[in-house]
Amino acid sequence: MAQRRRRRVALGNNKGGVGKTGTTINLAASLAEAGRRVLVVDFDPQANASRRLGRPFRPDSPTVTASEIVRSGEPGAAADAIVPCDWEGVYALRIDVIPSRFDLENRISEAAVMHARQRLRSALEGVDDEYDVTLMDCPPSLGHLTQLVLAAADWGITLVEPEYDGVEGATRFRDFMVDPANLAELANPELQFLAAVPSMVDTRLGAHAHHLSTLPGIFGPDCVWDPIPARSVVKDAADSALPLSAMGSRAAEARAAFDATAARLWKEITA
């Protein structure tokens, strides 16, 4: 069997609200605009990525979600959950989603079952080979759900809000995913830390400027990518479940930042 390409990227941070989901969906948009086919795996029971991509869980017309594919854990089970995103145009053509729902929380209590951490990896087997990139949005935790993602991923990116707690949460995510003992437990020795991406950056804040300057020392200069600025239009687009391109010219600066990050991501994972 041909070797699977290394195109699965986990986006995580132990801290909440640092831009993991916002960056995941906007990177998906930038990659799609550049002609790439993207699979977004929403692996947070909050299901924010699913809603923002127009695929909230509807109890009156339930569909298969990340929770069911992990409960099954059968090789290839993830195929049953894939839906196109509900954005228009190239996004609908090129961005697919494995949506989430709150029930994903119930997978945590199964963590002690044999091979429990391999369930997402197994469910994705043979399913995402046709995509150029698989982006996996983690919950703000290093617990079982994030471990399921890390067991399936090839690369890890942490979003760093340049504040004390944001840097600490990002550092814990990095330290967790490069620890050889953890990699052995995850049965994923090839997993590689790819980048610390400063997110929600406001350069007018002294604290942000200070913490940005510490990042190369913590993560290594080559692993610190250009920052994503904090812009209200990112929040507005997320609230309206629309791509940034639907927000007109005021989204230009934010889109340029996500485009640059997507281009760097593509370059690094295809090198």
Residue from 9, 10, 18, 104 touching ligand ATP (CB under 6 A): that is: 18
Q: Which stretch binds ligand ATP (CB under 6 A): 77-85, 104-112, 229-237, 244-252?
A: 229-237
Q: Which is nearer to Mg ion, 21 or 158 (CB)?
A: 21
- For residues 84 and 257, give the distance between their C-alpha atoms in angstroms, rounded to a whole number: 25
Q: Which residue lies nearest Mg ion, judged by its C-beta?
A: 21
- For residues 231 and 88, give the distance between their C-alpha atoms in angstroms, rounded to a whole number: 23
21 contributes a contact to Mg ion by CB under 5 A: yes
241 contributes a contact to ligand ATP by CB under 6 A: no
Residue from 115, 210, 235, 250 touching ligand ATP (CB under 6 A): that is: 235
261 contributes a contact to ligand ATP by CB under 6 A: no
- For residues 15 and 17, give the distance between their C-alpha atoms in angstroms, rounded to a whole number: 7
Q: Determine contact, residues 160/173, Cβ cutoff 8 Å.
A: no
Which one of Mg ion, ligand ATP, none is in contact with 265 (Cβ closer than 5 to 8 A by kind)? none
Q: Determine contact, residues 27/39, Cβ cutoff 8 Å.
A: no
Q: How far is CA 49 from CA 14, 172, 177, in A?
A: 17, 23, 23
In which element (H, E) is residue 9 found?
strand 8-12
**Maximum alpha-carbon separation in the chain:** 53
Which one of Mg ion, ligand ATP, none is in contact with 134 (Cβ closer than 5 to 8 A by kind)? none
Residue from 81, 85, 151, 228 touching ligand ATP (CB under 6 A): that is: 228
Beta carbons within 8 Å of 46's beta carbon, 6+ residues apart: 100, 102, 139
Subset of 31-70 contacting Mg ion (CB under 5 A): 48
Per-residue binding letters, 188-227, with ligand ATP (x by CB under 6 A): -----------xx---------------------------
Rounded to the nearest whole angstrom, what is the least distance from the CB of residue 166 to ligand ATP in the complex?
A: 9
Q: Determine contact, residues 124/75, Cβ cutoff 8 Å.
A: no
Q: Kindly report the three-state secondary structure assignment for every residue of 96-120.
A: EEECCCHHHHHHHHHCCCCCHHHHH
Q: Which residue lies nearest ligand ATP, judged by its C-beta?
A: 22
Q: Which stretch binds ligand ATP (CB under 6 A): 16-24, 69-77, 111-119, 125-133?
A: 16-24
DSSP state letter for 49: H
Q: Which is nearer to Mg ion, 25 or 183 (CB)?
A: 25
Burial call 170-204: b when 16+ CB within 10 Å, e when fewer? bbbbbebbeeeebbeebebeebebbbbbbbbbeee
Residues of this chain that interact with Mg ion (CB under 5 A) are: 20-21, 48
Residues of this chain that interact with ligand ATP (CB under 6 A) are: 16-22, 44, 46, 48, 140, 199-200, 228, 230-231, 234-235, 238
